[in-house]
Structure 1
């Protein structure tokens, strides 16, 4: 049997991939996708070149400002689980060729699924790959999120953050709304104290740290109300949030300790809000009243509004006059970073908040536990 030299086989495989890409990646029809998949399915020798091209697309996404969690989020939203698995394989393969990244990036890599794509026929596999590559090719450019360089030895999580995690875990697990909200308020109080401690340490350091940024998914349904909740949590923790509705995330700008707090608390409050909303809907149905999407949207909007007020009060209770200059300088630094990343932003009016019962129930859910000023933490 005649076997072509390796160089010739590589050229042939590259040609197959080029023809498949020309047929499928730059057109949106199913017929074009089928044509490209047929070419790839007929040439198993092209698989290695196909994978290499996928890694190139991933590297291009990084240069455009995307991070692993961002790409996973949009692939999960636009495509299917098989595409997420294919993407995870590409990202892990590309990681060995990337420059050193920060701790958030490393954490995102660690969260990638390790499940391999299911074994299917070659045509179905090639179709899924081309669908994924088509999406990657069309990713727009995002604002770059500069991360601190990874330390040689990772800094262990502070006792304060461990306590905060424990409080929020209890808040999510309890079946009593009053207890959940009291635990969340205490967590916010600890977050504020932790943030102040970090600010004082940075002020005394020879090279104070600078604000960073992270992206947090804001998924449908009721994404507007969820974005309002995230904005409220960010503001209470001396951060700023900018929502990208079309891509399904908010960019939060702030100092690292505060970004950690926002991610923790926002995730927990979403769980708690959903639990409270489900209970409120059950009570409404028991009273013979049917509720709709507008009830849920209004509920979450009211919840976000009232929770924001309570979180801000809990945070400000930790601030004394001697701390104001340090915190003010950090607020200015955050605002400056935000303006440089997003020189143009627009205010969005919250839509669909028209259900009075939903608003009332959401406000009650956020107000069941009164947040009282507590003594400063030592």
Structure 2
């Protein structure tokens, strides 16, 4: 990796943090907050695609590695599916690696630079979903187990909306990269090659894969829609919460 590449990455990180500081300030008007958050993730997505292209050209170091996360109650399954789908957006593979006593655990296989972003996004979105769910109010006519169903549905709706936004932003970043680098190898092809390398390594590490399954639990339409609404407002350009924050949120490694 060149000194220029390192400096560029540092500048992107500084810009993202400045945008998020503005977005998170209590006195920032809502339109400005939303614009700052959107720009922060746009920068993250662009940096990810640029880094992949540099690595493919031998101008930046990268390697396939793993990320291990354990998920704790409450809502361990919903937390696990959030990480699984964020990783999938980045072309990663995941296997359930939990024990009989704690089955909610994943090992994610992917490129180190992408895993750094997935870790960042997951910890940030986990925090946001926790705050959003705590502030959400189930319909007054619900009680007991039906409230639990509503809250699980809220988390599922939040995850689906956020992941849809992540995929769309990443697609736009890929197209934009190719427009700006017409003489280079297509970023889309680079991502395909990187995905194939990840799949090969994943098959070697986990020949008998147990992939996370879609939950068959009861759902609540109103809970899901409330979660989707929160997902549309979510900041998808957050900085890393860190291991301490992850443990507090029930997503310890």
The TM-score with structure 2 as length reference comes to: 0.70
Query: Quick check: 2:19–2:36 contact (8 Å CA) kept in 1?
Result: yes
Query: Quick check: 1:302–1:362 contact (8 Å CA) kept in 2?
Result: yes
Cα distance in 2 between the residues matched to 1:312 and 1:235: 9
Uncovered stretches (5+) of structure 1, i.e. residues with no partner: 1-154, 372-378
2:91 to 235, 238, 259: 238
C-alpha spacing 1:295/1:189, structure 2 compared with 1 (3 Å): same
C-alpha spacing 1:292/1:173, structure 2 compared with 1 (3 Å): farther
Deviations 1:142-174 (A, max 9, x none): xxxxxxxxxxxxx78722234344555666676
2:172 to 308, 317, 320: 317
1:222 to 75, 84, 88: 75
Q: Is residue 354 from structure 1 mapped to residue 210 from structure 2 by the alignment? A: no
Deviations 1:53-79 (A, max 9, x none): xxxxxxxxxxxxxxxxxxxxxxxxxxx
- 1:100-249 residue pairs with structure 2 within 5 A? 158-167=10-19, 185-205=38-58, 209-246=62-99, 247=102, 248-249=104-105
Cα distance in 1 between the residues matched to 2:12 and 2:93: 23
C-alpha spacing 1:335/1:240, structure 2 compared with 1 (3 Å): same
Cα distance in 1 between the residues matched to 2:81 and 2:36: 21
* Corresponding position of 1:299: 154
* Corresponding position of 1:366: 231
Cα distance in 1 between the residues matched to 2:205 and 2:30: 38
In the TM superposition, what is the alpha-carbon distance from 1:225 to its structure 2 partner? 0.9
Query: Quick check: 2:67–2:108 contact (8 Å CA) kept in 1?
Result: yes
* Corresponding position of 1:342: 206
Cα distance in 1 between the residues matched to 2:32 and 2:127: 14
Uncovered stretches (5+) of structure 2, i.e. residues with no partner: 1-5, 179-185, 237-253
* Corresponding position of 1:76: none
* Corresponding position of 2:240: none
Cα distance in 1 between the residues matched to 2:49 and 2:18: 20
Q: Secondary structure at the match of 1:253?
A: strand
**What is the count of residue pairs matched by the alignment?**
214
Cα distance in 2 between the residues matched to 1:207 and 1:159: 16
Q: Secondary structure at the match of 1:214?
A: strand
Cα distance in 2 between the residues matched to 1:171 and 1:245: 37
Cα distance in 2 between the residues matched to 1:251 and 1:169: 32
Cα distance in 2 between the residues matched to 1:279 and 1:178: 21
The structure with the larger Rg is: 1
Cα distance in 1 between the residues matched to 2:150 and 2:19: 29
C-alpha spacing 1:193/1:207, structure 2 compared with 1 (3 Å): closer
Deviating 4+ runs (over 4 angstroms)? 165-185, 287-291
Deviations 1:70-97 (A, max 9, x none): xxxxxxxxxxxxxxxxxxxxxxxxxxxx
C-alpha spacing 1:328/1:219, structure 2 compared with 1 (3 Å): same
- 1:6-45 residue pairs with structure 2 within 5 A? none
C-alpha spacing 1:274/1:314, structure 2 compared with 1 (3 Å): same
Cα distance in 1 between the residues matched to 2:33 and 2:128: 7
* Corresponding position of 2:129: 273
Structure of higher RCO (CA pairs closer than 8 Å, 6+ residues apart): 2
